């Protein structure tokens, strides 16, 4: 029993969130470098000659140099078993990030020191806030000219509404970047530009009390600025309080440069000691403790065609309690039956490792023959409950989609259905027609490009897309009490149904929603669907 407890206690499961180009993928790679999971970090930009980032595997990502899907990476470091959920930074894929945050126990927020808090960071931060998960901030790219450090902290506090506690403090930026001051140990860690893809960075420490040595190392001006800033900091910054950090009310802030590998290991060590072991989860029978012997998990992501050669689908699940054993049957709540999970594996980008066991906090991928959906709960056979659902976000862009070759209807429907099951797109049909009319809804327009690309490359189907003017969608909450056929709407309203046959209404104008409710007194509309 002791070993079981230890295994769960040494796990740390976190998501990395950021605005595109803040350096998230580079930071992820450097973590893997420290864990010995990779030997050389690849370059992230999609240049033909560059190595591709380890966590970007989908072809379109390699071509465009953006992360489209969340990857799951696991590595061992200093006695910890670390599960990183890398998320797409681009806002058109924010829904995937929301779901990934449901599977994490804490979040690492990467901010570009020259840009500060950007729009996408706000949106993602809200989700962290809703869940109350701890947030650790890494302010990146100090090797480039940065905004004023106090201004950066103000932005985090004002824009995101969370108190900040700098654990270390930068000395200059860009060409004048000299290193960071470690507030707890009262030492300056000097910066040296190391070879980009290695972990043997050279840095040396100077105690703050050795005034002359410091002045010589960083220069008189930088020294007097640092002394002033430390004084200001000690008077103004929030005290470090681990309890507040774990409640998501205070974010520890670290500074560094992921590209030159400076400050990354300091951050990793601090993060691992401050962050929590796997957290309990809410279910319909109450809170489930991760230390329970009984296995339970929920599906938060489905990814088709991860392996070109095998046209497969992987369901990613977060283990919430107990120990997973590949030889044992589990109960699939939504499917209502016991089954053995097929090919349970841990995935590192496009490498896979088949597993016999895994513990609460771990993320595993299992082969999905098409039976799992996002939000599904799995438990030990004989034990029945559901974890709280993952909300479906309302799409904001719609298009009519047709296959060019009518003979390829079967492949077209298969591709559309499988991509929809991953949660990237939502598929609708005319309310009272057959299968002919397919309408696709997405949260971000870039998803349309990904859909077209994937249908052509993975399913060999060319499509034509006609954009539709609808911008608002509403689910009909009381569909059993309403005759949808007889609903009187507005001229810009369209009745559709989802793949499960649920009726929905599309509108061009927001005011039409209110008018439709006025005209149909018993109608109850909702902005969120339920998985």
Residue 308 pLDDT > 50, yes or no?
A: yes
* CA dihedral of residues 470, 471, 475, 481 (deg, nearest 10): -50
Helical axes 211-218 vs 220-236, angle rounded to 10°: 110
Distance CA 442, CA 425 (A): 5
409 and 300 co-located in one domain: no
Given 320, 352, 380, which residue is the final one in a domain? 380
419 and 468 co-located in one domain: yes
420 and 505 co-located in one domain: yes
Residues of the chain by 3-state class (helix, strand, coil), percent to 5: 30, 30, 40
Q: What is the pLDDT of residue 40?
A: 47
287 and 142 co-located in one domain: no
Mean pLDDT of 48-61: 46
Q: Which residue has the tokens 């000691």?
A: 273
Pairing mode, strands 377-380 and 296-304: antiparallel
Q: What is the pLDDT of residue 219?
A: 86
On whether residue 351 sits in a domain, the answer given is: yes
* CA dihedral of residues 414, 418, 420, 423 (deg, nearest 10): 180
On whether residue 232 sits in a domain, the answer given is: no
Given 380, 401, 433, which residue is the final one in a domain? 380
Task: Specify the CATH number for the domain of residue 70.
Answer: 3.40.50.300
On whether residue 334 sits in a domain, the answer given is: yes
Residue 146 pLDDT > 60, yes or no?
A: yes
Q: Which of 95, 108, 89 is nearest to 30 (CA)?
A: 108
More confident residue, 52 or 44: 52
On whether residue 61 sits in a domain, the answer given is: yes
State pLDDT tens for residues 485-504. Answer: 888 888 899 998 887 788 89
37 and 64 co-located in one domain: yes
Given 318, 350, 380, which residue is the final one in a domain? 380
Q: How far is CA 177 from CA 52, 169, 193, 347, 399, in A?
A: 28, 11, 10, 37, 49
Q: Please state which of the ranges 48-52, 145-149, 521-525 shows the lowest mean pLDDT.
A: 48-52
Residue 89 pLDDT > 60, yes or no?
A: no
Task: Specify the CATH number for the domain of residue 329.
Answer: 2.40.30.10
The first and second tokens of residue 514, run together, are 């209110």
Distance CA 148, CA 166 (A): 14
332 and 428 co-located in one domain: no
Count structural domains, the chain: 3
Q: What is the pLDDT of residue 391?
A: 65
Distance CA 131, CA 38 (A): 32
On whether residue 190 sits in a domain, the answer given is: no
HSE-CB of 277 using CA atoms within 13 angstroms: 13
373 and 403 co-located in one domain: no
269 and 291 co-located in one domain: no
The first and second tokens of residue 200, run together, are 């043997």
On whether residue 1 sits in a domain, the answer given is: no
Helical axes 149-160 vs 119-131, angle rounded to 10°: 50
128 and 24 co-located in one domain: yes
Report field, pTM of the whole predicted structure over 0.85: no
Give the three-state DSSP class for 154: helix
Q: What is the pLDDT of residue 47?
A: 34
Residue 278 near residue 290, CB atoms below 8 Å: yes
503 and 463 co-located in one domain: yes
Range of the domain at 335: 281-380
Task: Output DSSP code: residue 79.
Answer: T
Confidence class of residue 51 from pLDDT cuts 50, 70 and 90?
very low
368 and 452 co-located in one domain: no
Residue 331 pLDDT > 60, yes or no?
A: yes
Q: What is the pLDDT of residue 120?
A: 65
Q: How many residues does the structure list for the chain?
A: 531
Residue 168 near residue 254, CB atoms below 8 Å: yes
More confident residue, 164 or 487: 164
How would DSSP label each residue in 415-426?
HHHHHHHTTSSE
Distance CA 339, CA 139 (A): 45
More confident residue, 192 or 38: 192
Query: What are the start-end ranges of the E strands in 49-167?
Result: 71-77, 80-86, 106-112, 135-140, 163-166
* CA dihedral of residues 263, 267, 269, 272 (deg, nearest 10): -160
Q: How far is CA 482 from CA 82, 477, 493, in A?
A: 50, 10, 17
Task: Output DSSP code: residue 379.
Answer: E
Distance CA 294, CA 1 (A): 13
How many C-beta neighbours within 10 Å does residue 177 have?
25
Pairing mode, strands 330-332 and 337-339: antiparallel
Task: Specify the CATH number for the domain of residue 514.
Answer: 3.30.70.3280
The torsion angles phi and psi of 260, rounded to 5 degrees, stand at -90, 5
Secondary element (H or E) of residue 442 = strand 438-442
Write the CB contacts of 459 (distance below 8 Å, at least 6 apart in sequence). 411, 412, 414, 415
Residue 513 pLDDT > 80, yes or no?
A: yes
Residue 430 near residue 400, CB atoms below 8 Å: no
Q: How far is CA 395 from CA 302, 309, 380, 403, in A?
A: 18, 32, 35, 22
On whether residue 228 sits in a domain, the answer given is: no
On whether residue 165 sits in a domain, the answer given is: yes
268 and 285 co-located in one domain: no
Distance CA 179, CA 270 (A): 17
Longest dimension (CA), the chain: 85
């Amino acid at each position: 029993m002791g070993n079981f407890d230890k295994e769960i206690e040494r796990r740390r499961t976190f998501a990395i969130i950021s605005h595109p180009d803040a350096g998230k993928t580079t930071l992820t790679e450097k973590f893997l470098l420290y864990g010995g999971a990779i030997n050389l970090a690849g370059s992230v930009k999609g240049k033909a000659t560059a190595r591709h980032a380890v966590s970007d595997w989908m072809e379109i990502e390699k071509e465009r140099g953006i992360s489209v899907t969340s990857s799951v990476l696991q590595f061992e470091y200093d006695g910890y078993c670390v599960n990183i959920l890398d998320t797409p930074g681009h806002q058109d894929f924010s829904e995937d990030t929301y779901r990934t945050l449901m599977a994490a126990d804490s979040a690492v927020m990467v901010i570009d020191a020259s840009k500060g808090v950007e729009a996408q960071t706000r949106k993602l931060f809200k989700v962290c806030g809703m869940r109350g998960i701890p947030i650790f901030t890494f302010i990146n790219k100090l090797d480039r000219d940065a905004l004023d450090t106090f201004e950066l902290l103000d932005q985090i506090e004002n824009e995101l509404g969370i108190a900040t506690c700098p654990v270390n403090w930068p000395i200059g930026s860009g060409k004048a970047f000299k290193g960071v001051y470690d507030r707890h140990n009262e030492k300056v860690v000097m910066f040296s530009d190391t070879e980009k893809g290695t972990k043997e960075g050279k840095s040396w420490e100077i105690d703050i009390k050795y005034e002359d040595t410091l002045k010589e190392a960083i220069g008189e001006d930088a020294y007097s600025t640092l002394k002033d800033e430390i004084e200001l900091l000690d008077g103004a910054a929030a005290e470090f309080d681990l309890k507040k950090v774990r409640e998501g009310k205070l974010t520890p802030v670290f500074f560094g440069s992921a590209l030159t590998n400076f400050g990354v290991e300091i951050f990793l060590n601090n993060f691992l000691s401050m962050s929590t072991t796997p957290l309990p989860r809410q279910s319909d029978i109450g809170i489930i403790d991760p230390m329970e012997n009984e296995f339970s998990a929920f599906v938060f992501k489905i990814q088709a065609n991860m392996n070109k050669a095998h046209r497969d689908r992987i369901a990613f699940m977060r283990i919430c309690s107990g120990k997973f054993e590949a030889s044992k049957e589990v109960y699939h709540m939504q499917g209502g039956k016991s089954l053995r999970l097929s090919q349970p594996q841990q995935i590192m980008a496009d490498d896979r490792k088949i597993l016999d066991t895994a513990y609460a906090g771990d993320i595993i991928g299992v082969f999905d023959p098409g039976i799992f959906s996002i939000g599904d709960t799995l438990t030990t056979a004989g034990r029945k409950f559901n974890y709280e659902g993952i909300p479906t976000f309302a799409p904001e862009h719609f298009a009519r989609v047709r296959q060019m070759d009518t003979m390829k209807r079967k492949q077209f429907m298969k591709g559309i259905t499988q991509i929809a099951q991953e949660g990237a797109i939502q598929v609708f049909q005319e309310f009272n027609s057959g299968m002919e009319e397919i309408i696709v809804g997405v949260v971000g327009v870039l998803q349309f490009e990904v859909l077209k690309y994937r249908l052509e490359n993975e399913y060999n189907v060319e499509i034509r897309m006609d954009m539709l003017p609808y911008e608002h969608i509403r689910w009909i909450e009381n569909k059993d009490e309403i005759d949808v056929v007889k609903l009187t709407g507005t001229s810009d309203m369209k009745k559709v149904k989802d793949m499960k046959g649920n009726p929905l209404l599309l509108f061009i104008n927001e005011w039409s929603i209110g008018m439709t409710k006025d005209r149909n007194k018993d109608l109850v509309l909702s902005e969120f669907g339920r998985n």
